[in-house]
Structure 1
Amino acid sequence: MTDDQRGVPAATVRVGGEDDALEQRLDDELTAFNGRATGAGTPEDLTVRVDDAGELVGGLTAWLWGRCCVIETLWVREDMRHAGWGSRLMRAAEAEAVRRGCTDLIVSTYTFQAPGFYRKLGFRATGRTPGIPGGHQDVQLHKAVGP
Structure 2
Amino acid sequence: MSTEQHPGAASLQVGGKDDDLEQRLDDELTAFNTAATGAGEPDDFSVRVTAADGELLGGLTGWVWGGLCGVEMLWVRADHRHAGWGSRLMRAAEDEAVRRGCTDMIVSSYTFQAPDLYRRLGFREAGRLPGVPGGHEDVYLHKAIGS
* TM above 0.5: yes
Task: Show CA shifts across 1:8-54 (max 9, x none).
Answer: x4301111001111111101110110111111110001100000021
Task: Show CA shifts across 1:46-104 (max 9, x none).
Answer: 10000002100000000000100000000000000000000000000000100110000
State how far apart, in whole Å, the 1-side matches of 2:47 and 2:23 are: 23
Displacement after TM superposition at 1:134 (Å): 2.5
User: Superposition pairs for residues 1-147 of structure 1, below 5 Å?
Assistant: 3=7, 9-52=8-51, 53-147=53-147
Displacement after TM superposition at 1:145 (Å): 0.3
Structure 2 unaligned spans of 5+: 1-5
State how far apart, in whole Å, the 2-side matches of 1:26 and 1:77 are: 33
Percent identity over paired residues: 71
Secondary structure in structure 2 of the residue aligned to 1:106: strand
State how far apart, in whole Å, the 2-side matches of 1:10 and 1:127 are: 42
Q: Please provide the CA RMSD for this pair.
A: 1.1
State how far apart, in whole Å, the 2-side matches of 1:144 and 1:46 are: 19
State how far apart, in whole Å, the 2-side matches of 1:134 and 1:10 are: 39
Aligned length: 141
Displacement after TM superposition at 1:144 (Å): 0.2
Length-normalised TM-score, structure 1: 0.93
Secondary structure in structure 2 of the residue aligned to 1:105: strand
Displacement after TM superposition at 1:130 (Å): 1.7
Secondary structure in structure 1 of the residue aligned to 2:11: coil
Q: Which amino acid aligns with 2:39?
A: A
State how far apart, in whole Å, the 1-side matches of 2:9 and 2:81 are: 54
Q: Which amino acid aligns with 1:133?
A: P
Post-superposition, which runs of at least 4 consecutive aligned residues in structure 1 deviate over 4 A? none
Secondary structure in structure 1 of the residue aligned to 2:41: coil
Length-normalised TM-score, structure 2: 0.93
